[in-house]
A and B are shown apart, each in its own frame.
Chain A
């Protein structure tokens, strides 16, 4: 099973700052990686798929990059509504999908 690790566990930033979140896979997932945002009491929301494609309706301040085992989600300038938990997810094979443990972006 492919495992995902995310860093940092918590990111403390102020609105307007740039956020850089990392996701690392235990083996190559090519570009088959997505990012989700989850706010308390809500279901997750798909932000990015195939490493760098933005889902419909997602603001341009969200961008994804990477391939193989190392991936990055960047939020160029944090808005108040962006403070949430972010999960990466891989789907490189159909032995199953896995999610990372999450990165919490909190207000500094």
Chain B
């Protein structure tokens, strides 16, 4: 079955950096576009970034553009999110998520990881 397992979260000071990883299994990872979505404490969902299945295109939310970088290693079935210049308002649970269709970008997410906490605090 499809599994997405995030790792790399934790507590970091404002201005610091963190790299999240997402290990994918149970499906052909290289066939699917992938997303990061976050949820601040007690708040709603915010789409963060996506990367096309071939890794050729990326898109970012305005709130993270220039600070976060999404990437993937299809040989390792792993998705990454490099987060720099972190701010308090980046504090959230970060979800790795799979786009709904293979060899396409629908923008809809059908599988989600369990989420990983990132806390930005001094």
- Known contacts: A43-B114, A49-B100. The answer to whether A100 contacts B44 by CB under 8 A is yes
Main secondary structure of the interface of A (DSSP, over half): loop
Q: How many residues of B contact A (CB 8 A)?
A: 22
Chain B residues whose CB sits within 8 angstroms of the CB of A34 once the complex forms: 107-108
- On whether the beta carbons of B62 and A1 are closer than 8 Å, the reply is yes
Q: Which residues of B contact A101 (CB under 8 A)?
A: 44
Report if B11 contacts A (CB, 8 A).
Answer: no
Cα distance, A22 to B108, chains bound together (Å):
19
A96 touches B47 (CB 8 A): yes
In the assembled complex, the CB of B35 is this many whole angstroms from the nearest CB of chain A, namely: 8
Selected contact of A43 from candidates B50, B61, B112, CB within 8 Å: B112
CA distance A101 to B44 in the complex (A): 6
CA A44 – CA B107 in complex, angstroms?
15
A13 at the interface (CB under 8 A from B): no
Instruction: Determine whether the beta carbon of B107 is less than 8 Å from that of A97.
Output: yes
Q: Which residues of chain B come closer than 8 Å to A89, judged between CB atoms?
A: 45, 47, 107-108
Known: A46-B110, A55-B100, A96-B59. 7 other contacts (CB 8 A): A34-B108, A43-B97, A55-B110, A89-B107, A98-B47, A99-B47, A102-B45
Chain A residues engaging chain B, CB cutoff 8 angstroms:
1, 32, 34, 36, 38, 43-46, 49, 55, 87, 89, 91, 94-102
Interface residues of B (CB under 8 A from A): 44-47, 50, 59-62, 95, 97, 100, 105-110, 112-115
Q: List 7 A-B contacts (CB under 8 A).
A: A1-B62, A46-B108, A89-B45, A97-B50, A99-B45, A99-B46, A102-B44
